[in-house]
Amino acid sequence: MDKFIIEPNRNLSGDIHVSGAKNAILPAMAACLLAPGKSILHNVPDLIDLKTMAHLLRVIGARIEYENGIMSIDSKDVCYPEAPYELVSKMRASIYVLGPLLARLGKARVSFPGGCAIGTRPVDLHLKAMEALGAKINIDHGYINAQTEGLTGADIHFEKSSVGATINALMAAVLAHGTTNLYNAAMEPEVDSTIDILNKMGAKISGKSTTTLCIKGVDDLFPVQMDMIPDRIEAGTFLIAAALSTQPVRVCNCTADHLTALLDKLRESGCELEIESNKIRLYPAKRIKTTNILTLPYPGFPTDLQAQFTVLMSLADGISYVEDTIFPDRFMHVAELNRLQADITMQRNIACIKGVKKLNGAEVMATDLRASAALVLAGMVAEGSTTVSRIYHIDRGYDKIEQKLNSIGAKIRREKG
């Protein structure tokens, strides 16, 4: 298993470039199942999770090619409606094929996603939405079996805001007979991006960027070409790296409007920001001020940046609190950060962070995608050498993160193992 050996350098400077958004590309790939023929996605990074989704779509019968950030997906011969355990257990977002397979083939058999390092993650809202649209669902031997004679539009009220369930419901409803209304739908940019690709394919979805979406079912969808949006979580991770630096850094190819909650918190912590079209230049604070974080559905502070922001606060001037309301158990990074001599205590889903003067390098272990990014950021500022093992987690969602960070002055070496 590969590991990162990180030597400290707080003098980062220059430009760093953000890739396409993994969490927008995954549903876009699944959406291609709905439009028989060859769709082409641009701005697609080389990520393990996207390879896993490509593998899954191939199992289902799609043909996929990928070169230089361009992915083509030919879904003409889709015929095998199954997402097997070995792929779903690698990546929960495999559940995104459920809605498209039901809509296109009238049946789907998807392995039930198991536990995950950031806590229990049920899929009940996905299943309720499919049932509301007329699917019959039963669970046997660890598989979700879904079947329908034809989906029919329905009113669906989500009890909780869920990115995944909103997207799955959208992808099922676009080919249903009649009109579907989704209430308390998620508003994340990745949901908007899915609406954009589906509408480009010929779907009729209105209400984008609100919590109420209306989908008028159509008979057919057609293949498209689409540019994928920049990854707001990768951009946010780089901005936090910049905030830990002593020199200004410019994060390029990002959408500031998707990062408002983070930018507000960076300003509160003393950073100055200059925003110009799709670039953000960050001037770090002389002394990092404390600020509290509460993760919430978009446009609130993203849970996917909670671990990275905790690193910033661990070097702030005083005490701060970070509360995760989306995934209350998502604090595996805390024990690892304390190995680097951060001073963080947990009370339920709230981390109490006492700022320390410095972190000290040590061996730590990545536990999930965003926690790994946090450990890399911590290693970049900790005194002495830090080794982050199990970095396959980071390769799931960050394209060549060490090369990108090294291009602005970080000292990260990948050791193959």
For residue 31, give the nearest of 154, 196, 145, 176 by alpha carbon.
Answer: 196
Beta carbon of residue 93, minimum distance to ligand UD1 (angstroms, whole number): 4
Q: On the CB side of 358, how many CA atoms lie within 13 Å of its CA?
A: 11
Beta carbon of residue 160, minimum distance to ligand UD1 (angstroms, whole number): 5
Beta carbon of residue 303, minimum distance to ligand UD1 (angstroms, whole number): 5
User: What single string gives the DSSP state of each residue in 258-321?
Assistant: GGHHHHHHHHHTT-EEEEETTEEEEE--SSPPP--EEE-STTSB-GGGHHHHHHHHTTSSSEEE
**Which member of 239, 259, 326, 375 binds ligand UD1 (CB under 6 A)?**
326
**Which member of 102, 123, 251, 305 binds ligand UD1 (CB under 6 A)?**
123
**Which member of 8, 45, 164, 236 binds ligand UD1 (CB under 6 A)?**
164
> Which window, 143-151, 171-179, 302-310, 343-351, contacts ligand UD1 (CB under 6 A)?
302-310
| Residues numbered 236-295 forming contacts with ligand UD1, rule: CB under 6 A | none
**Which member of 10, 51, 63, 121 binds ligand UD1 (CB under 6 A)?**
121
**Spatial contact of 172 and 102, defined as CB atoms under 8 Å apart:** yes
- Position 294: which residue type? L
Residue with tokens 């199992």: 59
| Residues numbered 144-163 forming contacts with ligand UD1, rule: CB under 6 A | 160, 162-163
Q: Is 344 in the site for ligand UD1 (CB under 6 A)?
A: no
**Which member of 190, 231, 324, 368 binds ligand UD1 (CB under 6 A)?**
190
**Spatial contact of 311 and 285, defined as CB atoms under 8 Å apart:** no
Q: Token digits for 254?
A: 């990002």
Give residue 129's Cα distance to chain centre: 22
Closest residue (Cβ) to ligand UD1? 164
Beta carbon of residue 410, minimum distance to ligand UD1 (angstroms, whole number): 24
Catalytic residue among 32, 79, 116, 252: 116
Q: Is 116 a catalytic residue?
A: yes
Percent of the chain that is helix, strand, coil (3-state, to 5): 35, 25, 40
- Position 206: which residue type? S
Q: Is 187 in the site for ligand UD1 (CB under 6 A)?
A: no
CA 388/CA 402 separation, integer angstroms: 12
**Spatial contact of 290 and 321, defined as CB atoms under 8 Å apart:** no
CA 291/CA 317 separation, integer angstroms: 10
**279-283 vs 249-252, strand pairing mode:** antiparallel
> Which window, 122-130, 139-147, 244-252, 311-319, contacts ligand UD1 (CB under 6 A)?
122-130
Site string for ligand UD1, 86-115 (x = CB under 6 A): -------x----------------------
Three-state SS at 169: helix
**Which member of 15, 86, 124, 227 binds ligand UD1 (CB under 6 A)?**
124
Q: Is 53 in the site for ligand UD1 (CB under 6 A)?
A: no
**DSSP type of residue 228:** P
**Which member of 3, 126, 393, 404 binds ligand UD1 (CB under 6 A)?**
126
In the bound state with ligand UD1, the residue whose beta carbon lies nearer, of 163 and 405, is 163
CA 226/CA 193 separation, integer angstroms: 10
Beta carbon of residue 304, minimum distance to ligand UD1 (angstroms, whole number): 5
Q: Contacts with ligand UD1: how many residues (CB under 6 A)? A: 21
Q: Token digits for 170?
A: 């959208």
Beta carbon of residue 166, minimum distance to ligand UD1 (angstroms, whole number): 8
Give the helix/strand (H/E) hosting 182: strand 179-183
| Residues numbered 22-51 forming contacts with ligand UD1, rule: CB under 6 A | 23, 26
Beta carbon of residue 261, minimum distance to ligand UD1 (angstroms, whole number): 12
Interface positions with ligand UD1 (CB under 6 A): 23, 26, 93, 121-126, 160, 162-165, 186, 190, 302-304, 326-327
Active site residues: 116
